[in-house]
Structure 1
Amino acid sequence: MVLKTFGWSFAVTALGLVAAVLYGGWTAFGIVAILSVLEISLSFDNAVVNAGILKKMNAFWQKIFLTIGILIAVFGMRLVFPVLIVAVSAQLGPIEAVELALNDKDRYEELVTDAHPSIAAFGGMFLLMIFLDFIFTDREIKWLAWLERPLAKLGKVDMLSVCIALIVLLGTAMTFAVNAHQHGGGHANKAETVMLSGIAGLITYLIVGGLSSYFENKLEEKEEREHEEEEQARKSGKKVTAMAVGGKAAFFMFLYLEVLDASFSFDGVIGAFAITNDIVLMALGLGIGAMYVRSITVYLVRQGTLDDYVYLEHGAHYAIGALAIILLITIQYQIHELITGLIGVALIGWSFVSSVRRNRELAAQEALGEKAESHS
């Protein structure tokens, strides 16, 4: 199971590390290894959230996510995206941007760092909307019930998450963006850029997430019929198969996954510059990490981990909320990537321990019930 799920990741790791040695010796090998670990640690919460969405999709779209999705994640976000940032911010052509990345690494890093406010605003708002929509939804299973119950009641107010997101964006533009961090320790007023980028992130979420929800809702009647068929199958002793979303719904869920992955990758791409400004090593290291994130996602789906450990999804969404706030703060202040990664890992670890404790309590209650029945 492990080899089948992680086989491609192992192969890409071997090829990537060999390529690093050939490109820059053992120093490059070490840099690529560190970048890989950085990407995995920063994106583990991404894998958990991806798994929650991917398990709803049929086998065909799961394969699309693991093939085309990999190309987008590895080559698009980890290689093309940093170059695209430079091309747009410096008003250069794509070829000139690539030449700059390969031949003038210091200038390349400077341009990417100066573009960070717009990147952070876009990604921060997209991730913040994911977090807000999650905590304002009334769920049968609650992790931090003392917090989630009142928030679920507040969530009945229409467009509350959008209003809060816009208030946060306005506050960010009036505070952090006015004194945005720039390359070399300088600061600049990026309020207008942050506002525009943040609104673009919000609009992207509303369009992609809205279309995905629309087509999911259109399948409700079909799902209800399939539920009835499942009940009949159970009564007759037939095997029950899980429903999987396909067609337009799966397509927009796939788009949603890709935009989500892009938002998660922002901190990894920016954080990579703290380790190296070599675009080749960056692409190798972050690409290897992205492969493992995909493999972890598939492993969680195939093992049914989210069904067994019900609070994992909660922990991942709280990690998303933390990452969104951190991205907005980094518009003005530098926050070490280790802190970003540890916060996500800590929240997911906490939710995992809570899930294990819950499972033990349920098992103990079930055992007591069976014991009481046997005595009666």
Structure 2
Amino acid sequence: MVLRIFGLSLVVTVLSLGVAFLYGGPTALVLCILLAILEISLSFDNAVINATILEKMSEFWQKIFLTIGILIAVFGMRLIFPLAIVWVTAGLNPVQAFDLALNPPANDAEFFPDGSPSYETLLTDAHPQIAAFGGMFLAMLFLNFILAERELTWLSWLERPLAKVGKLEMAAVVIAGIGLILVAEFLADSDDRSTVLLAGLIGMVVYIAVNGLGNMFHVEEHAEGAAGGPSTLAKATGKAGFFLFLYLEVLDASFSFDGVIGAFAITSDPIIIALGLGLIGAMFVRSITIYLVRKGTLSEYVFLEHGAHWAIGALALILMVSIGVHVNEIVTGLIGVAFIGAAVVSSIRRNRKEGESEKTLTSEPTPVA
């Protein structure tokens, strides 16, 4: 089963590394490997969250996300998105932006000899807006999970008090909004404050809209299915699946921001970035997502979803802080891995304790009447 799930990713990896070697020799090959490792380490929590949402989708919409959705992730976010930023910020057409990306300054300076900014510089200059949008979207996702009251808690000493705070109506919006104002006021440059506020508000609105539509049709699915029969249920499931698909695409985009920006610390070549981040990295994230769903890992390791959401909260915080302070990509990746790893260990310990409790109960002698 493992080979069947990860087989395509392995094939894509070999082909991508081969293309990278033919494109730029050993240097390009090494850069491609580094980018793939960066993407996988940064996106493991993304795979966990994807799996939790995919479990709620019909088989049809699961296949749509794992095919069309992955293509959007590979080519849209890892190749087209950086180019689109350059089109907008530099006023270039797509052909000029792509040519600028493929022909960086010979001395790797921030500007060309004629004074025009490089592709990397233009993309880096757009980081505050990108980080504000992605950070607020992920912050809303984290807050809506962690402020909800639930029977099973992982970090109970912290999650239970936060659940009490969550009883305040629109608590997530209030906390996220205060955070956005503080970041814009104290971390963003004076020239970027308005754009950071606008981008952050758009991130919040997009989350509320897409998540709200998904929840609305998910409720209709159960309500109509009880009275309307199978055909109505199938139609409602289609609507719910469509909005969950949109939600996953925006979520993947938000997760991708740090990886795309971080990639420019390694290389500014869009071809190498597309091969390393897009093809290899995104394909492995896809395979990990499928593995989690097919193996029922989320039900076996009950704290894994909690760990993933705490990793999302950390990533959202890092994105917002990075507006004013550079955060090393290694730190970002290790924090996510640390939360996921701790959640897995906690789940194993809980399963072991439950197993011992069941053995104790079954081994107790039956009282004689």
Same fold (TM over 0.5): yes
Kindly report which structure 2 residues correspond to 1:44-193, keeping only aligned pairs within 5 A, or say none. Answer: 44-104=44-104, 107-178=118-189, 189-193=191-195
Q: Does 1:217 align with 2:213?
A: no
Q: Which moved more, 1:312-321 or 1:1-10?
A: 1-10
Using the alignment, how far apart are the partners of 1:319 and 1:91 within structure 2?
A: 36
Counterpart residue identity of residue 255, structure 1: L
Q: Does 1:268 align with 2:259?
A: yes
Distance 1:224 1:359, change over 3 A: farther
**Cα contact 1:61–1:246 (8 A) shared by 2:** no
Provide the TM-score with structure 2 as the length reference.
Answer: 0.92
Using the alignment, how far apart are the partners of 1:375 and 1:41 within structure 2?
A: 54
For this pair of structures, how many residues does the alignment match?
A: 351
Distance 1:334 1:162, change over 3 A: same
Provide the TM-score with structure 1 as the length reference.
Answer: 0.90
**Cα contact 2:218–2:237 (8 A) shared by 1:** no
Using the alignment, how far apart are the partners of 2:207 and 2:16 within structure 1?
A: 33
Task: Say which of 203, 206, 215 aligns to 1:204.
Answer: 206
Using the alignment, how far apart are the partners of 2:82 and 2:158 within structure 1?
A: 38
**Cα contact 2:221–2:237 (8 A) shared by 1:** no
Using the alignment, how far apart are the partners of 1:269 and 1:174 within structure 2?
A: 26
Identical pairs, percent: 60
Using the alignment, how far apart are the partners of 1:63 and 1:373 within structure 2?
A: 51
Q: Which moved more, 1:101-110 or 1:79-88?
A: 101-110
Q: Does 1:279 align with 2:270?
A: yes
Shift of 1:27: 1.0
Using the alignment, how far apart are the partners of 2:72 and 2:40 within structure 1?
A: 17
Using the alignment, how far apart are the partners of 1:302 and 1:102 within structure 2?
A: 40
Give the 4+ runs in structure 1 shifted more than 4 A. Answer: 222-225, 373-376
Counterpart residue identity of residue 261, structure 1: D
Partner of 2:5: 5
Corresponding residue SS for 1:246: helix
Counterpart residue identity of residue 22, structure 1: L
What does the per-residue CA deviation read over 1:289-329, in whole Å, with 9 as the maximum and x for residues that have no partner?
01100110010000000000000000000000000000011
Counterpart residue identity of residue 46, structure 1: N
Partner of 2:18: 18
Shift of 1:222: 6.0
Corresponding residue SS for 1:104: coil
Counterpart residue identity of residue 213, structure 1: N
Partner of 2:347: 355
Using the alignment, how far apart are the partners of 1:257 and 1:327 within structure 2?
A: 19
Using the alignment, how far apart are the partners of 2:88 and 2:174 within structure 1?
A: 30
Using the alignment, how far apart are the partners of 2:365 and 2:137 within structure 1?
A: 51
Counterpart residue identity of residue 153, structure 1: K
Shift of 1:189: 2.9
Using the alignment, how far apart are the partners of 2:174 and 2:308 within structure 1?
A: 23
Counterpart residue identity of residue 41, structure 1: S
**Cα contact 1:21–1:28 (8 A) shared by 2:** yes
What does the per-residue CA deviation read over 1:79-100, in whole Å, with 9 as the maximum and x for residues that have no partner?
1011111111112222221121
Using the alignment, how far apart are the partners of 1:84 and 1:199 within structure 2?
A: 21
Corresponding residue SS for 1:342: helix
Distance 1:373 1:204, change over 3 A: farther
**Cα contact 1:136–1:154 (8 A) shared by 2:** yes
Q: Which structure 2 residue ranges, 5 or more long, are not aligned?
A: 109-117, 228-233
Using the alignment, how far apart are the partners of 2:121 and 2:311 within structure 1?
A: 29
Counterpart residue identity of residue 46, structure 2: N
Shift of 1:220: 3.0
Task: Say which of 256, 274, 296 aligns to 2:247.
Answer: 256
